[in-house]
Amino acid sequence: MPEDCTLRVGDETRQWREGKTLVFDDTVTHEAWNHGPSDRVVLLFDFARPSCEDLPQDELPPAVAGLVRGGG
């Protein structure tokens, strides 16, 4: 893992650590940076959200879909 790779989720910023798992809620505003000179490779896993298990995997829960579409 290159140094100087960070992830901000909401108001919290963390650095990736080699061999460590980083789990976050992607419905919260987030962004990642790689200020280092080398590539960063990330393996992502999606988890079913509570009460959304019956939705098709490619369909967002209504509360999240409204944010993506610019709605309320």
- Interval 21-40 mean pLDDT: 86
Average pLDDT, the chain: 77
pLDDT at residue 71 in the model: 45
**What percent of the chain has a predicted confidence (pLDDT) above 90?**
12
For the chain, domain boundaries: 1-72
pLDDT for the residue 66: 63
Residue by residue, what is the 3-state secondary structure of the chain? Answer: CCCCEEEEECCEEEECCCCCCCCCCCCCCEEEEECCCCCCCCCCCCCCCCCCCCCCCCCCCHHHHHHHCCCC
The pLDDT > 70 percentage for the chain reads: 68
Q: Which residue has the higher pLDDT, 65 or 14?
A: 14
